[in-house]
Amino acid sequence: MASLSSTLGRDTRVLSLICTGHFMSHYSQLVLPPLFILMQTDYGVSFAALGLVITLINASGAIAQLPIDFLVDRFGAKRILIAGLLIKTFAIGAMALTSSYEMLLLLAIIAGLGHAVFHPADYSILMSSIDERRIGKAFSIHTACGTAGTAAGPIAIVLIAEFWDWKIAVLSVALLGAITGLAMILQGNIIQDHVGRQKESSGTDKGLGIREGIALLIQPRFLILYLFFLTTAMISIGLNAFTVTSLIKLYGTPLVAAGAALTTFASAGVVGVLCGGVLADKTERHDLIAAVAFGLSAAVTVFLASYELHHIAILCCFAVIGWLLGLVRPARDMMVRAITPEGNAGKVFGFMSTGHLVGGVIVPILYGWIIDQGEVRWIFWITAVLMVIAMLSLFNPARWNNSRSS
């Protein structure tokens, strides 16, 4: 973990670099879907075929995630992070230079390999570089920057495509990635790498091997937190993807009002993440924060599903739910940190992050099928059930902060 001698100025510089990279990871992930309407004309393929590009990015990242987790803990996070950033952004940028659909699919696979590095590398660096007194706020700012990238990507890319061309918009991702990667290279001396520090201090590497690492990850306390990550991802992905459709079909909400509800949900989530970071540094009961937040958000979701509400009331409900779910994220990261053995942050945080990818596979198919059956209200009922499952997964005999392995 980071030494208490770390200064605020140094922490700020480290956090700025890592958060810029995290912003780019989310920004680049949502570059292509808004451009499908333009790409479809040039490539002459169906929208389902273009959707396969996104599927391959996610699938490639999911497959590569665990091996990269171990590589981060074996060889260090800094170089792997920079390499992943450049690989992903250059692969996406290269999509503007090919007229072959098959090449598009190959580049999607390569981009997914680059995307897999961000969470294990980011958390390894943060835990090794940031003062422990500020680690909770650092986690929250890191998460908030990723969320900001998700929000900014579609807007920025559509504007560039509108003024110039979709290929220029895609190429701009490679340019931004190159600038971010260069900044990391030039400022990399301030980044503390947990592998390098271990070698300097003891000449040994505390990171576990493959067999020992897998044995660590299948311990009950890690699997319980994995369930927590999975349900959290399913809740967020479901609400982000189907809020607009659900409100229109269920309540006849106007498109603008339904879109405003989703924007309110996302914006409140960023505020919640930042508030959660402050709370995370003031208490060790991170499990209690998450459990209370999920219990309250489940109650609001049930209320939302049970009554015909005015548009203003719907906005208020989504603001509360977004803020509460935002509170959970720093607490969740701190719970993982509390049980992560020294030198193994890459594999642990990376393993947990695969829950997001798995959730992203399950929810769109399930919720889409529910809407096709005309049972839209069940979207909110299932979301509330997932919130309760997430809350119950935190009720265990051992306090998370007392479970840290040495």
Of the pLDDT bands very low, low, confident and very high (cuts 50, 70, 90), residue 297 is very high
How many CB atoms sit inside 10 A of residue 294's CB? 28
Average pLDDT over residues 163-173: 87
- Asked if 346 and 70 count as a contact pair (C-beta separation under 8 A), the reply is yes
* 161: nearest Cα among 88, 96, 87, 255: 96
Residue 168's alpha-carbon distances to 1, 162, 171, 174, in angstroms, are 42, 10, 5, 10
Is the separation of the CB atoms in 32 and 171 below 8 Å?
Answer: no
Residue in the block written with tokens 């920079």: 82
Asked whether the predicted pLDDT for residue 191 surpasses 70, the reply is no
38 with 161: CB under 8 angstroms? yes
Averaging pLDDT over each range in 176-180, 243-247, 399-403, which range is the top one? 176-180
pLDDT above 60 for 196: no
Q: Are 288 and 401 in contact (CB under 8 A)?
A: no
Residue that the structure tokens 């924007």 belong to: 263
User: Using CA atoms, how far apart are residues 353 and 356, in angstroms rounded to an integer?
Assistant: 5
Lowest average pLDDT, out of 124-128, 211-215, 306-310, 312-316, goes to: 211-215
Residue 398 has pLDDT above 90, yes or no: no
**Residues, the chain:** 406
102 or 149, which is more confident = 102
Which region among 32-36, 303-307, 389-393 has the lowest average model confidence (pLDDT)? 32-36
Q: What are the boundaries of each domain within the chain?
A: 8-193, 210-394
pLDDT (0 to 100) of residue 402: 46
For the domain spanning 210-394, the CATH number is: 1.20.1250.20
d(CA 331, CA 276): 7
Q: What is the CA radius of gyration of the chain?
A: 21
pLDDT for the residue numbered 399: 46
Encode pLDDT of 111-126 as tens digits.
Answer: 988 888 887 777 778 7
Q: pLDDT (tens digit, 9 = 90+) per residue, 9-21?
A: 777 777 888 888 8
Contact predicate 216/208, CB 8 Å? yes
Give the Å distances, CA to CA, from 261 to 198, 312, 343, 395.
48, 9, 42, 32
| pLDDT of the residue at 382 | 92
Residue 333's pLDDT is: 75
Q: What integer pLDDT is reported at residue 193 of this predicted model?
A: 60
Q: Is the pLDDT of residue 34 over 70?
A: no
- What pLDDT is attached to residue 383? 92
Backbone dihedral region for residue 2 (phi beyond 0: left; psi -120 to 50: alpha; all else: beta): beta
The answer to whether the CB of 274 falls within 8 A of the CB of 140 is yes
Spatial contact of 233 and 360, defined as CB atoms under 8 Å apart? yes
Range of lowest pLDDT (103-107, 234-238, 241-245, 384-388): 241-245
Give Cβ neighbours of residue 64 (< 8 Å, ≥ 6 apart).
112, 113, 116
The number of CA neighbours under 13 Å toward the Cβ of 397 is: 1
210-394 and 8-193 share a CATH fold: yes
pTM of the model: 0.66
Q: Where are the alpha helices (DSSP H) in 281-376?
A: 286-306, 311-338, 345-372
The tokens 């931004």 sit on which residue?
176
Q: Are 57 and 88 in contact (CB under 8 A)?
A: no
Q: Which element (helix H / strand E) includes 236?
A: helix 220-251
Determine the average pLDDT of the residues in 179-197.
71
Interatomic CA distance for residues 167 and 282, integer angstroms: 47
- Write down the mean pLDDT value for the chain: 78
Q: What is the spatial distance between Cα 355 and Cα 362, in angstroms, rounded to a whole number?
A: 11
Output the six-digit token pair for 135.
């680690």
Q: How far apart are CA 92 and CA 103, in angstroms?
A: 11
What pLDDT score was predicted for residue 58? 76
Least Cα distance to 33 among 95, 116, 118, 114 occurs for: 95
Q: Which residue would you say has higher pLDDT here, 365 or 232?
A: 232
- Residue 300 near residue 272 (C-beta atoms within 8 A): no
User: What's the fold here for domain 8-193?
Assistant: Growth Hormone; Chain: A; (1.20.1250)
